[in-house]
Amino acid sequence: MADENVTPGGIADEGGADDTLKDDGGIADEPKGETGGIADEGGADDEPAKDEGGKEKDGGKQQEPEAYELTAPEDFPLPAENLDSFTAKARELGLTKEQAEGMLAWHREFHGDVTKAMQQRESAVLQGWAKEIRGDKEFGGDNWKETLADSRRALAAFDPDGSLRALLRDSKYQNNPAIIRAVARIGRAMKEHDFVGQNGAGKSRDIPLEERMYPDMKV
């Protein structure tokens, strides 16, 4: 590569005072103190070209990844397909079995920390809900048992197959104050108006339709 600080004169350049001919070697000159010309025969100092990482570009053999299978710890609920995917990626990255097992152990600890944090967050939310509804003057305190009875009355009438109740239990939203208030009000209205659900929930009285529609009318 030419020295950036030296600008030799080209054949079309105008000659200047500093233009001098130097014996730097032309394309047909014998090499001076240099080896490995394009027409020279290879010598002992010739080395194969290497890439930036120091690996031979040609003739190098890529090492096959180590063949191994990983086993998840008994207390780590990792699905089989996820473990297979993790193992395949570890081998693809060239990790040894020992290195892959180390990453799996770290993943197990990380999963445990995340699970614990989620459980603590859920517990705090549930405790907050319980404190709110128990402190409610209309639905909590001494009225809590009645609130539960009214809520269950409404759910029994409008959720005959129990699917809504299962959803509320699984999601923990059966403890949500807003849900409790709404469902309890429905159950309370059923009790006050002697509403009878599809499954017979509520009180039943054999009252003519016209009397139920117009209770103040006297015949």
pLDDT (tens digit, 0 to 9) for every residue of the chain, 219 residues total? 545 454 444 333 344 545 544 444 443 445 555 555 545 555 555 555 555 544 454 455 556 777 888 888 878 878 889 999 999 999 999 999 999 999 999 999 998 999 999 999 999 999 999 999 999 999 999 999 999 999 999 999 999 999 999 999 999 999 999 999 999 999 999 988 776 555 555 544 455 545 555 556 555
CA within 13 Å, CB half, 172: 10
